[in-house]
Amino acid sequence: MTELTIRDRILGGLWGAVVGDALGVPVEFRSRSELRRDPVTDMRAHGTHSQPKGTWSDDTSLLLCTVDSLLRHEFDTGDMGSRFVQWGKGNLWTPWGSVFDIGGATRRAFARIEHGAPAEQAGGKDEHSNGNGSLMRILPIALRFHREPADRLLEYASRASAITHGHPRSRIACGFYCLVVAGLLDGQTPEMAIRQAAAIIAPRLAVAPFSAENRHFSMLLEGDLKTRPEDEIRSGGHVTDTLTAGLWCLLRSQTYSDAALNAVNLGEDTDTTGIVAGGLAGIVYGITSIPENWRHALARRPELENLFNQFANLSGRA
């Protein structure tokens, strides 16, 4: 088998994330037991949000806004925040010209930005502001800065998260995900990448303000995630649950399709588990591993292709 290039992996991550999201949109909020009876095996239309086949959610829209910003600026959270707000108004990176779903914490952060708050101060910092709304869009940060030292990558992940989710738990979860992505792009196996990320994160969880968060990451730090039974894996909207579920699906997969479909069929927050697991699996297995008919079904595919190729050209440079 031909060895994957960095460009193959970056494109795989981007396309894999969007496809994972689109697979999950029609069944969002359906229970795991329902999906056991009627599992997702292919791209569907209609369903929860009554959208056409290939529709992606707010997860992808905000990921695309992040890609767009990183193409134009080295790292500018003010620009990212502005693009997020424009999406929320239906003016930027919607699949069909309107917004059909947006999280409460994200909506409140947008309102703060519109009222003049600096982007990095806009995200909620309370215990209840730990949904997965920053994790779902953080992948481009990792792809763009995967060669930076761990401290710098964690800083960028934390600052980007804070635009909508400023609690330490969300910021650490985004950092953990970015470290795993960096390891995968460096050619590590999923097991190695997760183990390395845990080794970097663990000392940070020993000091304030992150020490109170240690228990929320215990399943990732203990090193036995792959062997955990499915009934221990939660797939709701909490940030650490989504991170854990996405990594679990990656560890239990042999192909891109395995990872993405397993993620979606966990139920509940299917689009976000799909985008998190799909992005990781796309990096591991590469762009050609993603079924072509799934990619071709996506809304605005030619525009996605142009955007992703530009970004891969930028981020894949040696």
Look at residue 1 and tell me if it is in a domain: no
* Whole-angstrom Cα Rg for the chain: 17
Per the structure, the count of domains in the chain is 1
pTM over 0.95: yes
Helix orientation angle between 270-285 and 256-264, rounded to the nearest 10 degrees: 170
Contact 178, 154 (CB under 8 A): yes
Look at residue 144 and tell me if it is in a domain: yes
Look at residue 140 and tell me if it is in a domain: yes
Look at residue 170 and tell me if it is in a domain: yes
Which residue segment(s) compose the domain that 92 sits in? 6-315
Look at residue 286 and tell me if it is in a domain: yes
Q: Is 131 helix (H, G, I), strand (E, B) or coil?
A: strand
Q: How many helices (H) and strands (E) does the chain have?
A: 15, 0
Look at residue 291 and tell me if it is in a domain: yes
Look at residue 35 and tell me if it is in a domain: yes
pLDDT, tens digit only, all 318 positions of the chain: 468 999 999 999 999 999 999 999 999 999 999 999 999 999 999 989 999 999 999 999 999 999 999 999 999 999 999 999 999 998 899 999 988 888 889 999 999 999 999 999 999 999 999 999 999 999 999 999 999 999 999 999 999 999 999 999 999 999 999 999 999 999 999 999 999 999 999 999 998 878 889 999 999 999 999 999 999 999 999 999 999 999 999 999 999 999 999 999 999 999 999 999 999 999 999 999 999 999 999 999 999 999 999 999 998 764
Look at residue 238 and tell me if it is in a domain: yes
What is the CATH number for 170?
1.10.4080.10
